[in-house]
Chains A and B, each alone.
Chain A
Amino acid sequence: MTLSLDLSHRFQGFTLEAAFTAPPGVTALFGRSGSGKTTLVNAVAGLLRPDRLRLSVAGEVLADTTAGIWQPAHRRRIGYVFQDARLFPHLTVRQNLLYGRWFAPKSPEAAQDFDRIVALLGIGGLLQRRPGALSGGERQRVALGRAILSQPRILLMDEPLAALDEARKAEILPYLEQLRDELGLPILYVSHSMAEVARLATTVVLLEAGRVTAAGPVAVMLAQPEHAQSLGLREAGAVLQGQIAAQEEDGLTRISTEAGPLWLPRVAGEPGRPLRLRILAQDVMLALQAPQGLSALNHFESVVEAVHLGDGPGAMVRLRAGDAAVLARITARSAKAMGLRPGLRLHAVLKAVSVAQENIGRGA
């Protein structure tokens, strides 16, 4: 299922003009606060009526203000997970989860779905409680379940993790990955955290001051040096697809990627398990010769594709390693001293790699 949207809206001296298509998978709407992300998803959900909106999901037109079409929120069947959970305080967790089912089309698998989602989100022990007695992370998982069980055609998530501390985020992210991979539900995910986007997204839409400045598959988008500024320099980095190749005797896991093999401290899983790897630009060092006598285990032979000098002392370098793009953030001085130019062959040394689950088979 695909969502496509074309919207313009003026409010408080700010103009939001956005048009994009979200293919199946997770489409991350990325931008700073105030860039219009929440306004955009509220318009998609039908909670806000913009000056002009054309919205269709899987070919069905849900809104076309120029043609006078406006489906109200409750008829759109678009699930919404809010930043602040918004559970109904007077209902138990079970009643909250079942709330949407009253209004959803009747389906014979409903009872099974309930058990499956409850198990998937690990909220079986909370069913009799009321939202007031839940922790922030638990609340957000229940809100997620509630939205999914209303059988939406697509799911909107407006910074669902922003109100949580790091530990709670880490608790929920795996559930989001599983949802993405197991339900095949298109998700529009609003975030200003690059870490979340790199981990979850299949497509990235970059929103700046009310305008879409770039959109594309996550691996391509995150490997563009020119986007580094808007994505945040510290968070800039490439995303690679890989899979577990072997568990080695000294506790390391060999992972094959499009860029070449990598060794990481044990990553659980059978050989063949797909993974998503994120390599931050600031964790990549460049060497003109093959590194010797260096403790770093992982390095790729690569070719410089582009050198992007900013205004500051830094430089962003895009490399091609095998079939993958990798970003490196170095100083402009080093770039000059090393004579970096497109076409130059060198070695990219990785200081750190983070790993997330990725089930390409059923996702995307």
Chain B
Amino acid sequence: MTLSLRVSAVATVVSLPLGIAVALALARGRFPGRQLLNGLVHLPLILPPVVTGYLLLLTFGRKGWVGQWLDQWFGLVFAFRWTGAALAAAIMAFPLMVRAIRLAIEAVDPKLEQAAATLGAGRFMVFLTVTLPLILPGILAGTILAFAKAMGEFGATITFVSNIPGQTQTLPSAIYAYMQVPGGDAQAARLVLVAIVIAMAALLLSEWISRAVARRIAGT
């Protein structure tokens, strides 16, 4: 249970800066390969999660080319560890996060950024003082959505890091495990309840935040 929270939290927090950068590139960037990047980001959304997990195993596993390299240089191992579960969750949740943030960026009026430039703000300051505050609701929505998705990630996780109690057993894997053993139904039902509560809380929180922000901007 706490493992699941930790996995999702780490997955969301670590992928957030990258998510903002990618969303920015997709929304504003004009560079060759933009469509390719777009496709790549969205791939985990369309691929069967098992395929994503398998690909992760190939690249980030102990024998995988990235995994080997990371192990050698940083001592960072993903395969069959909770960090691997976090990686799988992050990749699966990434499209949702990028999508929400990108929509928010596209809704920002570039005219406001121009106005900031005429007032003396350079590109970075414009982003920090105008764009970022204006897309904050989108970032929050994307983060919460990604968090919820990460909590529920199952297919890629179980393929990549298996289902080791105390190590890589996230909430959905635990539910799955309880359902496999006779008499585990009650345990499974308890966890299902927990999952529902967390999902509802995340949804309400994101609604509340976006409304609060809208109120602030309307100035009433």
- Chain A residues within CB distance 8 Å of chain B: 45-47, 72-80, 82, 84, 86, 88-90, 99-100, 102-104, 129-134, 146-147, 150
Contact = CB atoms under 8 A, between A and B. Distances in A.
Interface residues of B, number: 24
B125 interface: yes
Most buried by B among A84, A88, A104: A88
12 contacts: A72-B117, A73-B114, A73-B118, A78-B118, A86-B109, A86-B111, A86-B115, A88-B112, A99-B116, A100-B120, A103-B119, A133-B220
Task: Give 7 nearest A-B pairs by CB, closest first.
Answer: A103-B120, A130-B219, A133-B219, A132-B219, A100-B119, A80-B118, A86-B115
Given A73-B118, A74-B117, A82-B111, A99 B129 contact: yes
Most buried by A among B121, B219, B220: B219
A128 B96 CA distance: 37
A188 B96 CA distance: 47
A129 B118 contact: no
A129 B220 CA distance: 8
Given A74-B122, A88-B130, A103-B125, A132 B117 contact: no
A78 B120 CA distance: 9
Contacts, number: 82
B156 to A, nearest CB: 37
Contacts of B220: 132-133
Interface in B203-220: 216-220
Interface of B: 109, 111-112, 114-123, 125-126, 129-130, 133-134, 216-220
A130 B111 contact: no
A147 B119 CA distance: 7
Contacts of B123: 74
A27 B128 CA distance: 35
Nearest to A150: B119
A159 B111 CA distance: 16
B59 to A, nearest CB: 41
Contact of B216 (A45, A79, A100, A130): A130
Contacts of A90: 133-134, 216-217
A146 B115 CA distance: 10
A150 B118 CA distance: 9
Contacts of A78: 118
Contacts of A104: 120
Contacts of A100: 119-120
Nearest to B120: A103
Contact of B119 (A72, A131, A146): A146
Contacts of B115: 80, 82, 86, 88
B119 A89 contact: no
B118 A47 contact: yes
A74 B121 contact: yes
Contacts of B114: 47, 73, 86
Nearest to B132: A90
Nearest to B134: A90
Contacts of B125: 74, 102-103
Given A84-B111, A90-B134, A132 B217 contact: yes
Contacts of B112: 86, 88-89
